[in-house]
Structure 1
Amino acid sequence: MAAIGSFVALEWPPLLRRIVLTLLLAFVAVRFIRAVAMLLFGVARAGSGTSDETPTAVPATDETARPFWIPRVNLMAGFLLFGWAVASLMPGIGFSIDVARVVALLCGLGMLAVAVEIVWRRPGSAATAVRQSLLTLYLIALWLVWVAGLLGVLWLGLYVLLLPAVVRGVGSVAQAFVGRAQRSGALGIVGNVLIVRGARAAVIGAAVAWLAYLWRIRAAALAGSKTGELVISGLLNGIIVLLVADLLWQMAKALIAYRMALSPAAGSNAGDVARDGRLRTLLPIFRNALAVFIAVVTVLTILSGLGIQIAPLIAGAGIFGVAIGFGSQTLVKDILSGVFYMLDDAFRVGEYIQSGSYKGTVESFSLRSVRLRHHRGPIFTVPFGALGAIQNMSRDWVMDKMALSITYDSDVDLARKLIKKIGQELAADPEFAADTIEPLKMQGVDSFGDSGIDIRMKLMTKPGTQFGIKRRAFMMIKKAFDDNGIKLAVPTVHVAGGGDNAAAAQQLLKMKQAAN
C-alpha cells in the first residue's frame, strides 16, 4: 500500500511510469496470491480441527506442508507475473520481440522446473515413480504446447491436471466454512449446499467460461466452419447446464433428506404423527420423480444448445411412450397402484404389513415396488400391482385374544379374579404401562372341551408390544394358578369297563401265568 501511495503521489516520466506501474502490479499480484495461499492454509487447518471427516484443501496437519507449498507458490506466481511484466515491457524499451520471447520461454522453463520439483518432492505423496515420471512427461508436453502457441489446448491440458484438485480444495474450504457457521433448519441446509456446491460450480463455470472465450476466438480456425464453432459452444454451454442441474438436484435432495430426518415434536397429536408418516412415505417417490424430471430437462436443454431440434424428439417420445405403455402395462399398473396406495395412506415406512404370503416391515419405496423386511431377516421386493388387499398391523391399537383350558374341578370364578389381578399388575408395571391400552381380563367361558373348560382372555395394547406383555402374562398366570390350586387341562383318555368282568379277566391272566 505504501508503494502504491508513493507511486500515485509522485510525478513520473511516461516510460518510467509504465515500467514502475507494470512491475508494481506484478508485485501486488504476487503478494495477493501469497495471502490467498496463507488464508487457504488457515481455513483448511481450522476445518480439519473441527471435524475428522472434513477433507482439507491442503495437508494442513503435516508440519512440512506449509514450508513446502508457500515458497513454491511464490516462485510460480513470480515466474508467471514478473515474466509477463518483463516480457511485455522489453519491446517498449528497445529490445526485440525475439529477446522478449526468450525471456518468456525462460520464465516458462522456471515454472516447469518448479512444477516438476513439486511432482517429485511433494510431502505425503503416495505416487509411484512410474506415475511421477508420466506426470513429468505430461508437464513437459504442456510446456511444448505453450511454446507452439496452442493456448486452447494448453488450457484444456491444465484443466485436466489442476481442475479436479482445485475443485476439491475449494469444496473443502467451503465445507470448513459451513462447519464453522453451523447453520440449521431448512434455510441453513439450502445455504450449506449452495455454498459448497456453488463454490465448486463457480470454479468449474469460470474455467469453462475462460475456455469458451479462448475457443470462440479460434473455433473457426480450428474447425474450419461455423458448425464446429456451434458444436464447441454447445458443449461448453452444456457443461454449464449440467452444473446448474447438479446444484438444483443437490439442494432438492438435501431438503428432502432433512425433512425425512425430522421426527414429530414431543406431544404431537395422532393427526400430526400420521401426516408426518405419510410425508416420509411419499418423499422418496417424489425424489425419484424429481431426479427423472431434472435429468430429462437437462438432456433436452443440452441437445437444444447443440442445435438439435428437440420438438420432433418430444413428439417421437410421446408416440414411443404410448407404444411402451401398451407393451408394459404391468409396469404402469405397478406405478399407478403405488400412487393410489400412497393417497389412501395404506401403509407407511416403518409399519408392519401383510399382503397374501408377503409380510414384513416397510423399509423403502421405489416408483414400482415396496421393500418389506421380514421379522426373520429376509427382504421382499413386492411390486405395488401384486400387493392386493393390505393388512396393516401397526395402526392405532391391537386386540390380542388368548385362550386357556382349565380342569373341570377348577374354580372358574377364582380364575377370573386372578386373571383380572394379573392384568392390573401388568398395567401398573412401568415396563408395560405406556403400551397397555386396556388391561388383560377374562371374557368368560368359551366352551366345554374334551379335557377341560376353555376360557377366553383379551388384551389391548399398542401395535407391536403385545408379544412381550402376553409372554409375561402367561408366566404370571401359570404361577398364580399353581399357588391357588387351579390346574391347566391336558388331554386325557378315560377307559370305562364293568368291575366283575375286569376281576375275572385278571384272575384268568394270573392262572395262565402260574401254568407257565
Structure 2
Amino acid sequence: MDQFNKDINNFWDQLSGPEIWTLIGKGFLKIILIIIIAAVAIKVGKKVIDKVFMSRQRGPFRITERRENTLKKLLHNVLTYTVYFTAFIMILDEGLGLAIGPLLAGAGVAGLAIGFGAQNLVRDIISGFFIIFEDQFSVGDYIFTSNVEGTVEEIGIRTTKIKSWTGEQHILPNGNVTQVTNYSIHNGLAVVDINIPYESDFESAEKIIEKMAIELPDKYNEIIGTPEVIGVQTLELSHFVMRVITETLPADQWAGARIVRREVKERLYREGIQIPSPRLVMYTRNESPTALEVDGEKKKLQERNED
C-alpha cells in the first residue's frame, strides 16, 4: 500500500512539474509549425507548377490546353499527398517523439500483407496512369463512361470527377473507366429531321432551307460548315421527313441541332409551310361521310353567294 502511494505521488509530481509541460508545449508548437510549413509548401508548390506551365507556353515545346489542365491538376494532387504524408511522419517523429524507424519497418511488412487486399487500389492507380499517358480524355472534355455522361473536372491518382450537365458530380474509380466515348476530340455532326406535309412542294421547301442554311455559320459560332439538305429520309402517313446535317464544334452537336430546328421552323412558317399536325375527323351516327361533305360544300357555296 505504501509503495502504491509512493507511485501515485511520484506520478503527480511529474505531472505537476514544469518539465513535462515544457515538453508537451514544445511538441505542440512543433506540430503547429509543421502544419504551417506544410500548408505554405503546398501553396508555393502549386504556384511553381502553374508558372512552369505558363513558361512552357512561351517555349518551343507546347502542349494543348486540355492536356495542360489535366497535368496541372494531377501534379497538384501528387504534391498535396506527398507533403501531407511527409508532414504526418514529421509530426510522429518531432511532435510526438515516436521512433519512426521501427514504425516504418513494421509498416513495410504490414503494407506487404495489406497489398494483397488492396488490388483495387493498385488497379485504380495504374488505370489513372494509363488514362493520362494515353490521353484518353483530359480535364474539360465531355465524355460518356460507366453510364455517366458529363464534363471531366479532375483526373486524380485514384479517381476521376465528372460533372453532369444537370450539376451532379460523379466520382469514378479509375479502374472502372473501361470504355470511354469522348465528344471533345473531333467536330460533331448535328442531324435534324424535319416533317414536311405532302401538300407542300419538296423543291420549294428544299430551296427555303438551303437559303436559310447559308446564313447560319455567320450567325452562330457553334456551327462550322453550311448545313446540307440530304433529302427525303422517310415517307409517313401525312408527311415526308427531310433530313438536314451540319458540322459543329466538338460537343456542340446538340446545340447545333437545336439551332437548326428553331431556324427551320421560323423560316418555314414565314414562307407559309406549316409543320404537319395530327387531324381528327368526327362523324355522327345518322350522317355518312358523303353527306357531311355535301353539306359542307353547300355551306361554302352559301357563304360565297352571301359575300
With the length of structure 2 as denominator, give the TM-score of the two structures: 0.68
1:455 maps to: 242
Change (3 A) 1:303 1:471: closer
2:66 maps to: 277
Q: Verify the 8 A CA contact 1:443 1:456 in the aligned structure 2.
A: yes
Give the Cα–Cα distance (whole angstroms) in 2 for the partners of residues 304 and 438 of structure 1: 65
Q: Verify the 8 A CA contact 1:353 1:362 in the aligned structure 2.
A: yes
2:99 aligned to 300, 308, 314, which one? Answer: 308
- Equivalent residue runs for 1:244-283 within 5 Å: 248-256=41-49, 272=62, 274=64, 276-283=65-72
Q: RCO higher in 1 or 2 (8 Å CA, sep ≥ 6)? A: 2
Moved more, 339-348 or 289-298: 289-298
In the TM superposition, residue 402 of structure 1 has moved relative to its aligned partner by 0.8
Give the Cα–Cα distance (whole angstroms) in 2 for the partners of residues 278 and 403 of structure 1: 36
Matched, 1:369 2:144: no
Q: How many residues align?
A: 266
1:291 maps to: 80
Q: Verify the 8 A CA contact 1:245 1:298 in the aligned structure 2.
A: yes
In the TM superposition, residue 320 of structure 1 has moved relative to its aligned partner by 2.0
Give the Cα–Cα distance (whole angstroms) in 1 for the partners of residues 172 and 234 of structure 2: 41
- Equivalent residue runs for 1:158-169 within 5 Å: none
Could you report, residue by residue, the CA deviation over 1:471-498 in whole angstroms, capped at 9, with x for unpaired residues? 3432332233234443433345899xxx
Q: Verify the 8 A CA contact 1:422 1:473 in the aligned structure 2.
A: no
Could you report, residue by residue, the CA deviation over 1:240-286 in whole angstroms, capped at 9, with x for unpaired residues? 87776565444213223556899978xxxxx9562x32232132232
Q: Verify the 8 A CA contact 1:407 1:487 in the aligned structure 2.
A: yes
Q: Verify the 8 A CA contact 2:77 2:157 in the aligned structure 1.
A: yes
Query: Aligned to 1:436, what secondary structure does the other structure show?
Result: coil
Give the Cα–Cα distance (whole angstroms) in 2 for the partners of residues 394 and 425 of structure 1: 25
Q: Verify the 8 A CA contact 1:234 1:307 in the aligned structure 2.
A: no
Moved more, 253-262 or 315-324: 253-262
Give the Cα–Cα distance (whole angstroms) in 1 for the partners of residues 79 and 124 of structure 2: 19
2:223 aligned to 408, 425, 436, which one? Answer: 436
In the TM superposition, residue 287 of structure 1 has moved relative to its aligned partner by 2.4
Query: Aligned to 1:354, what secondary structure does the other structure show?
Result: strand
Give the Cα–Cα distance (whole angstroms) in 1 for the partners of residues 225 and 184 of structure 2: 17
1:339 aligned to 129, 132, 139, which one? Answer: 129
Change (3 A) 1:460 1:232: same
Query: Aligned to 1:457, what secondary structure does the other structure show?
Result: strand
Change (3 A) 1:503 1:442: closer
In the TM superposition, residue 316 of structure 1 has moved relative to its aligned partner by 2.8
- Equivalent residue runs for 1:93-108 within 5 Å: none
Query: Aligned to 1:439, what secondary structure does the other structure show?
Result: coil
Change (3 A) 1:366 1:452: same
Could you report, residue by residue, the CA deviation over 1:319-350 in whole angstroms, capped at 9, with x for unpaired residues? 32232222222222222222221222222222
Could you report, residue by residue, the CA deviation over 1:138-193 in whole angstroms, capped at 9, with x for unpaired residues? xxxxxxxxxxxxxxx7xxxxxxxxxxxxxxxxxxxxxxxxxxxxxxxxxxxxxxxx
What are the ranges of 5 or more consecutive residues in structure 2 without an aligned counterpart?
1-17, 283-287, 292-307
Matched, 1:412 2:202: yes
Matched, 1:397 2:187: yes
Give the Cα–Cα distance (whole angstroms) in 2 for the partners of residues 459 and 394 of structure 1: 17
* Identity of matched residues, %: 28
Change (3 A) 1:466 1:502: closer
Matched, 1:387 2:177: yes
Change (3 A) 1:446 1:316: same
- Equivalent residue runs for 1:47-446 within 5 Å: 248-256=41-49, 272=62, 274=64, 276-300=65-89, 308=99, 310=101, 312-429=102-219, 432=220, 434-446=221-233
Identify, as 1 or 2, the structure richer in helix: 1
Q: Verify the 8 A CA contact 1:399 1:458 in the aligned structure 2.
A: yes
Identify, as 1 or 2, the structure richer in strand: 2
Give the Cα–Cα distance (whole angstroms) in 1 for the partners of residues 254 and 269 of structure 2: 23
Q: Which amino acid aligns with 2:240?
A: I
Give the Cα–Cα distance (whole angstroms) in 2 for the partners of residues 488 and 235 of structure 1: 77
Q: Which amino acid aligns with 2:75?
A: F
Q: Which amino acid aligns with 1:308?
A: A
Give the Cα–Cα distance (whole angstroms) in 2 for the partners of residues 239 and 351 of structure 1: 40
Query: Aligned to 1:435, what secondary structure does the other structure show?
Result: coil
Query: Aligned to 1:388, what secondary structure does the other structure show?
Result: coil
Give the Cα–Cα distance (whole angstroms) in 1 for the partners of residues 263 and 28 of structure 2: 76
1:481 aligned to 247, 264, 268, which one? Answer: 268
Give the Cα–Cα distance (whole angstroms) in 2 for the partners of residues 479 and 248 of structure 1: 59
Q: Verify the 8 A CA contact 1:422 1:440 in the aligned structure 2.
A: no
What are the ranges of 5 or more consecutive residues in structure 1 without an aligned counterpart?
1-152, 154-221, 224-228, 266-270, 496-500, 505-516
Q: Verify the 8 A CA contact 2:69 2:139 in the aligned structure 1.
A: yes
The CA RMSD over aligned residues, in Å, is: 4.2
Q: Verify the 8 A CA contact 1:450 1:491 in the aligned structure 2.
A: no
